[in-house]
Amino acid sequence: MKPDTQRLEAWLQCHDGKVSARVVALDHFRVTLKLSTEVPDWVHFGRSVRWGFIAGEESISDVPVTIARVPAPGSRSTVVVAQIRVLSPTQVSRLEQILGFVPIPPVPPPRVKSLRRPKAPPRPLPPHERRAHPRYVVNMDLWVTHDSVTHIMRVRDISRGGMLCEIPLNDTADWVVEGSRLKMKLFPPDLEPLEFKGRIVRVMPRTNRRLASFGVAFDNVACQILMGRLLQRLRRAAA
């Protein structure tokens, strides 16, 4: 017997804190939660956090979600809506077992990312735009651990040699500096998470057209092989 989704005891959590909640509604794209207290400051539009819930003797945690709707300023409501993100096969299996369905939107297949070609005669690319491997536009979550704190971010594109990571809106990331080595966990669609380390080689500030982001280099041969295998799987899945 599947649980009544409106009776699930749940919570939202990130490095800024944890708040308990109750699931008001759950569909294939989002979860609506009624928080047990006033909406904390860290629960705001665009913030990526972790969601978990308990259904009888079953439970699941660390599901990546992005806050999609919060009460208007001055409102006494404590209802928030969270968009569910990319899930690992283990999380998919657990959600299917507990709920009877998997609440996640489809993930677009990767596509090759090409640089814009200027009308003028081609010139050598600047060093930060030179690539030894083709890049692929993807939609993957990335957990970055720094000083024992885990930050949820989005990978914009990836290659065998590195990737470009977006820093979520309003998320403080003053630790993102060139040369830093980070412990990371990548969540590819339909595959188990991959854990590895990388080095920040480029930091790009936020503009009116894009979020702040940073480039990571895979300067470890084992990591490059791991990413090469991942891209091969993604290409086969998109064929």
Q: Are 164 and 157 in contact (CB under 8 A)?
A: yes
Query: Do 93 and 178 belong together in one domain?
Result: no
Residue 178 lies in a domain: yes
| Residue 125 reports pLDDT greater than 60 | no
What's the pLDDT band for 124 if we cut at 50, 70, 90?
very low
**N- to C-terminal Cα distance for the chain?**
38
Q: How many domains does the chain have?
A: 2
Is 148 domain-assigned?
A: yes
Give the pLDDT band of residue 215 (cuts 50, 70, 90): very high
Residue numbers of the domain that contains 172: 129-238
135 and 87 in a common domain: no
Instruction: Read off the CATH number of the domain in which 14 is found.
Output: 2.40.10.220
Give CA–CA dist 133/112, Å, rounded: 11
Better pLDDT: 19 or 212:
19
Classify burial at 219, counting beta carbons within 10 Å of its beta carbon; exposed 0-12, middle 13-18, buried 19 or more: middle
Domain match, 90 and 11 both: yes
Instruction: Please tell me the pTM assigned to this model.
Output: 0.59
